[in-house]
């Protein structure tokens, strides 16, 4: 599995008994900020979203804007648009 990503299974998930996952596990992405001396974690409904955030977060660490990123509310999954 990709480094920095982790699946969050529910307590009753079949994967905990060695079977196929039957919960809607979210994905947790985390990056370690050496400057802050702590991990920054976020949970997302999909692996793609978690990966995207992590890539962004890693880029942010490199550029030194990580605090902003940690505070910024992440965009929610798109909803069907009823206005257009
Ligand atoms: Zn599961």
What is the pLDDT at residue 28? 95
Q: Residue 35 C-alpha to ligand 1 middle, in angstroms?
A: 34
**Angle made by CA atoms 4, 40, 55, in degrees to the nearest 5:** 50
Instruction: Give the contacts of 22 (CB within 8 A, at least 6 positions apart).
Output: 13, 14, 15
Q: Residue 50 C-alpha to ligand 1 middle, in angstroms?
A: 16
Does 75 or 62 have the greater pLDDT score? 62
Neighbour tally for 4: CB within 10 Å = 18
Residue 2 has pLDDT above 50, yes or no: no
Q: Residue 43 C-alpha to ligand 1 middle, in angstroms?
A: 14
**pLDDT (tens digit per residue) in 8-36:** 999 999 999 999 999 988 999 999 888 78
Strands of 5-8's sheet, edge to edge? Answer: 5-8, 26-33, 38-44
Q: Residue 28 C-alpha to ligand 1 middle, in angstroms?
A: 13
Distance between CA 11 and CA 34 in Å, rounded?
A: 32
């Amino acid at each position: 599995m990709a480094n920095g990503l982790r699946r969050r299974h529910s307590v009753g998930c079949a994967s905990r008994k060695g079977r196929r996952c039957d919960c809607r596990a979210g994905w947790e992405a985390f990056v370690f900020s050496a400057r802050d001396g702590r991990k920054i974690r976020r949970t997302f409904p999909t692996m793609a979203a978690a990966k995207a955030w992590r890539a962004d977060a890693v880029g942010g660490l490199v550029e030194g804007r990580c605090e902003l990123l940690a505070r910024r509310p992440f965009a929610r999954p798109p909803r069907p648009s009823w206005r257009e």
